Chains A and B, each alone.
Chain A
Amino acid sequence: MCIRCEISRRSLLMGGGAAAASLATGVAQARILPKNMVPLIGPGFRPTETDEIGLWGLMDRVEEEVSGSNLLIKDASIVAYLQHIIGRVGGPAARDMRIYLAHVPDFNAMMFPSGFAVVFSGLLLRMRNEAQLAGVIAHESGHFLRRHLIRSWRDMKRKSDIFAIGAMAAGIGGGAAGIYMGDYVQLAQLATILSLFQYSRAMEAEADAMGARLIAEAGYAPMEMATVWEQLIGEMNASARYRRKYRERGSLFDTHPSPESRMADLRISANEVTVPGKVYDAGHERYLKTIAPIRQMLLEDQVKLNDPGGSQYLLNTLALDGWDGTLRYYEGEVWRLRNRVGDEDRAAQSYAVAVAYPDAPPEAWRSHGLELIKQGRSGEGKAALGRYLKMKPTAPDAPFIRQMIS
């Protein structure tokens, strides 16, 4: 139920030739039509069958752990905002679903079978407006509304039963598909759930189609969902290109075709659910205003991932809506941390540009000042450092900086 589940090499090896080949060569499935995506559950849904009751019981324990995890970002206004969005795009289950924000700098979100979702902080960084975020959340709602987890669980059970009887070999059904879960293990610490996270590509396609329909109904621009994928593909490519160029080792799945086909399908679906003449909202301003308290932290997390290709792409994408002091400062940080020939000059330029914006973060003034001193412009440099101290007098490094300029 994660928005971005990548198939690992191990599962490819174990998953059997035919299925794997179709993944690797990108055999397209027929597109699922948004109009056919009817929610399978109503408001206040509770399970009635033994297997689903059992799963929900387990999930209650997981939710207890997730909701109490110290990895969660508990900023009340942002959590309320996410809850508000799931309330808008959650269809009939809008009031039943819960949403948690985990501090993990990755692009991911996942829905659990009992109706709670976990969104990674890296997702918030990548979204350019509320419509994009709503698109991802609507996709996750789609999983819950279409009862994907219990359906795939039953499918897996049936297949493993058949397999066990046919091959007389046991225990293979469970852990065959190792799916990338980011820091999920750390989050929930219950290994059992990992074996539950296996969804067919058909279900992901259903969730995409359902999501497109849900955000259109909520008045968001449906095309934004496809744009999310376009951004993700761009980022993955930029990140891979950078790494491949300087390292021989390339992964078999760097150019995995699946996001491309999902994007293509989403574009068609978006056109289908768009009502001509209707005005759709992207909610750009509202979105940026809401995440403002944590945006710098999100950028800080990203540049420290040591993924200059991905980080640069991301900054440039966010800057399509306009550069600001914070984005310029982190552009400089990406250069500085990459630290190849010429990078320091590039970083210095970025810092210099950053401080020209009224919203430049205090750290931009510090970096700008230090670069100026290195260039021999010590008077200007000290002035910039003074500006830093004035903006952030209690910074951990304030005593050192004071000593430098005294």
Chain B
Amino acid sequence: MRRSGIALVSIIGVALSGCVQTRQFADVQFTPPQGDYRLLVMRPDVAVNALTTGGMAQPRADWTEQARENIIQALRTEQAGRGGKVLILSKRNELPGIGADEVADLERLNYAVAQSIALHKYSGAALPTKFGKGLDYTLGEDAVSFGRRTGYDYALFVHAEDNIASTGRTALQVIGVAGCFVGFCAPSGGSNQFAYASLVDLRTGEVVWFNVLATGSQLPGVTFGDIRKPEGADQMVERLLGRMKPGREVREAMEKH
């Protein structure tokens, strides 16, 4: 009786540990782009890996290629609903008059800033100087100059990753959870996703909105979409970009009226 009680508690714990999490930050004055705006989506950085029994992420070229196409299509559909003019880059050299090196530089700069946002906004190492300021990061003059020359108002950077549990991994999970009934609980992670998006206002260079999505479960067979399939990619893009909230000051102003 007591043993099965522990098992039950453990299973609830395990079940709860599987979830979809998103957490977004915005510039205090951010208003989600609507109507007549021009958005440039930088080449989406997509990776799909097979999760081996031992937990290693093994890159899969075919799945990654498939998922990249799905994500691009999903971004196109999602943005169509917002009314802006959108260009999604699939290579670095697609912008007239802008070299691939410059696009690469901007991507690397964004990567460095995103790392900083991840550290100081998501990993708990909050900076006192940025306290209560919403999202206070910028890509600086380079981004403004880039925007001026390309004529775009916003740049969106997207990273999407899906780790798909192999059969062996799923079996290991089953055994791990089944073990709870004999008092040896060893749940292990299965399929999981990680994605982030950062929206840069090219008129000011500022990162105006940032969102991180993580899904995962220790229960075997539980997944939260599969970006190798169009529905899964739609779902991920919707979770990542669908519910863009305005910044604090804008929200407060809206509440007053």
A residues sitting closer than 8 Å to B (CB atoms) are 50-51, 53-58, 64-65, 68, 156-157, 159-165, 168-174, 189, 192, 195
B83 close to A (CB within 8 Å): no
Measured between C-beta atoms, what is the minimum distance from A56 to chain B in Å?
Answer: 7
Q: Do B60 and A173 touch across chains, with their CB atoms under 8 A apart?
A: no
B108 close to A (CB within 8 Å): yes
Find the A residue at minimum CB distance from B61: A57
Assembled-state Cα–Cα distance A361/B209 (Å): 52
| Chain A residues whose C-beta falls within 8 Å of the C-beta of B57 in the assembled complex | 174, 192
Q: Do A170 and B172 touch across chains, with their CB atoms under 8 A apart?
A: yes
Measured between C-beta atoms, what is the minimum distance from B99 to chain A in Å?
Answer: 10
Assembled-state Cα–Cα distance A169/B179 (Å): 12
Measured between C-beta atoms, what is the minimum distance from A152 to chain B in Å?
Answer: 12
Q: Do B54 and A173 touch across chains, with their CB atoms under 8 A apart?
A: yes
B37 close to A (CB within 8 Å): no
Assembled-state Cα–Cα distance A300/B172 (Å): 55
Find the B residue at minimum CB distance from A160: B54
| Chain B residues whose C-beta falls within 8 Å of the C-beta of A174 in the assembled complex | 55-57
Q: Do A165 and B55 touch across chains, with their CB atoms under 8 A apart?
A: no
Q: Do A161 and B59 touch across chains, with their CB atoms under 8 A apart?
A: no
Q: Do A170 and B61 touch across chains, with their CB atoms under 8 A apart?
A: no
Q: Do A68 and B104 touch across chains, with their CB atoms under 8 A apart?
A: yes
Find the B residue at minimum CB distance from A170: B188
| Chain A residues whose C-beta falls within 8 Å of the C-beta of B184 in the assembled complex | 168
B residues sitting closer than 8 Å to A (CB atoms) are 47, 49-50, 52-62, 64, 100-101, 104, 108, 111, 168, 172, 175-176, 179, 184, 186, 188-189
| Chain B residues whose C-beta falls within 8 Å of the C-beta of A53 in the assembled complex | 61-62
| Chain A residues whose C-beta falls within 8 Å of the C-beta of B49 in the assembled complex | 54
| Chain A residues whose C-beta falls within 8 Å of the C-beta of B50 in the assembled complex | 54
Name the one of B53, B108, B111 contacting A161, with C-beta atoms under 8 angstroms: B53
| Chain A residues whose C-beta falls within 8 Å of the C-beta of B186 in the assembled complex | 168-169
Find the B residue at minimum CB distance from A192: B57
Task: Please provide the 9 A-B residue pairs with the shortest distance between their CB atoms, ordered closest to farther.
Answer: A160-B54, A57-B61, A170-B188, A54-B59, A168-B186, A161-B53, A164-B54, A171-B55, A170-B55
Q: Do B59 and A57 touch across chains, with their CB atoms under 8 A apart?
A: yes
A–B complex contacts, Cβ < 8 Å, 19 sampled: A50-B60, A50-B62, A53-B61, A54-B61, A68-B101, A68-B104, A160-B52, A160-B53, A160-B56, A164-B55, A168-B186, A170-B54, A170-B172, A170-B188, A171-B188, A173-B55, A174-B56, A174-B57, A189-B108
Assembled-state Cα–Cα distance A54/B40 (Å): 29
Assembled-state Cα–Cα distance A68/B106 (Å): 12
Measured between C-beta atoms, what is the minimum distance from B132 to chain A in Å?
Answer: 31
Find the B residue at minimum CB distance from A158: B54
Find the A residue at minimum CB distance from B176: A168
Measured between C-beta atoms, what is the minimum distance from B238 to chain A in Å?
Answer: 26
Q: Do B58 and A51 touch across chains, with their CB atoms under 8 A apart?
A: yes
Assembled-state Cα–Cα distance A382/B111 (Å): 51
| Chain B residues whose C-beta falls within 8 Å of the C-beta of A64 in the assembled complex | 104
Assembled-state Cα–Cα distance A53/B63 (Å): 11
Q: Do B54 and A168 touch across chains, with their CB atoms under 8 A apart?
A: no
Assembled-state Cα–Cα distance A64/B54 (Å): 30
Assembled-state Cα–Cα distance A55/B60 (Å): 8
| Chain A residues whose C-beta falls within 8 Å of the C-beta of B101 in the assembled complex | 68
Given contacts A168-B175, A168-B179, A189-B111, contact A56 B61 (CB under 8 A): yes
Measured between C-beta atoms, what is the minimum distance from A61 to chain B in Å?
Answer: 8
Measured between C-beta atoms, what is the minimum distance from B89 to chain A in Å?
Answer: 14
Assembled-state Cα–Cα distance A146/B57 (Å): 24
Assembled-state Cα–Cα distance A50/B61 (Å): 8
| Chain A residues whose C-beta falls within 8 Å of the C-beta of B55 in the assembled complex | 160, 164, 170-174
New A-B contacts (19) at CB < 8 Å, excluding given A160-B54, A164-B172: A50-B60, A50-B62, A53-B61, A54-B50, A58-B47, A68-B100, A68-B104, A159-B54, A160-B52, A160-B53, A160-B55, A161-B52, A161-B53, A168-B176, A168-B188, A169-B186, A170-B55, A173-B54, A189-B108
Assembled-state Cα–Cα distance A188/B47 (Å): 16
Assembled-state Cα–Cα distance A162/B188 (Å): 15
